[in-house]
Amino acid sequence: DGGITQSPKYLFRKEGQNVTLSCEQNLNHDAMYWYRQDPGQGLRLIYYSQIVNDFQKGDIAEGYSVSREKKESFPLTVTSAQKNPTAFYLCASSVLAGVHNEQFFGPGTRLTVL
């Protein structure tokens, strides 16, 4: 059963703590993406990766970090430097970043900072 999985579905963290969101895909896709979704603002790109061991900042990378050690995994760390981390986080993947291919989205992780 191919697809993108994100865990956990809900995540709570105390202010000042780092937290890592998981994203795994078994679609053999080259590119992976992290988006943040806030009400009324659509989806904003945090980071993206076209190949293993390489990634690029998106529009709102401050306070976030990523790694791409394996093709199928692209974890996102929300650091304590992110001023307003409460949001819905979506991971996506596509066949190849160099052409316009469909981005497949995971079910998302809702992060709440207490």
Partner 1 sequence: GENVEQHPSTLSVQEGDSAVIKCTYSDSASNYFPWYKQELGKGPQLIIDIRSNVGEKKDQRIAVTLNKTAKHFSLHITETQPEDSAVYFCAASKAGGTSYGKLTFGQGTILTVHP
Label the pairing between strands 87-94 and 76-78: unpaired
Are the CB atoms for 89 and 70 separated by under 8 Å?
Answer: no
Of residues 63 and 108, the one with the C-beta less far from partner 1: 108
Q: Which residue has the tokens 């105390």?
A: 14
Q: Is 7 helix (H, G, I), strand (E, B) or coil?
A: strand
Residue ranges in 68-87 that form contacts with partner 1 under rule CB under 8 A: none
- Is residue 44 involved in binding partner 1 (CB under 8 A)? yes
- Is residue 102 involved in binding partner 1 (CB under 8 A)? yes
61 φ, ψ (degrees, to nearest 5) = -80, -20
Of residues 58 and 63, the one with the C-beta less far from partner 1: 58
Q: Which residues contact 66 (CB under 8 A, 6 or more apart)?
A: 34, 46, 47, 49, 55, 74, 75, 76, 77
- Is residue 42 involved in binding partner 1 (CB under 8 A)? yes
Of residues 57 and 70, the one with the C-beta less far from partner 1: 57
Query: For partner 1, which residue of 19, 46, 90, 113 counts as binding (CB under 8 A)?
Result: 90
Binding site for partner 1 (CB under 8 A): 4, 31, 33, 40-45, 48, 50, 56, 58-59, 90, 92, 94, 96-108
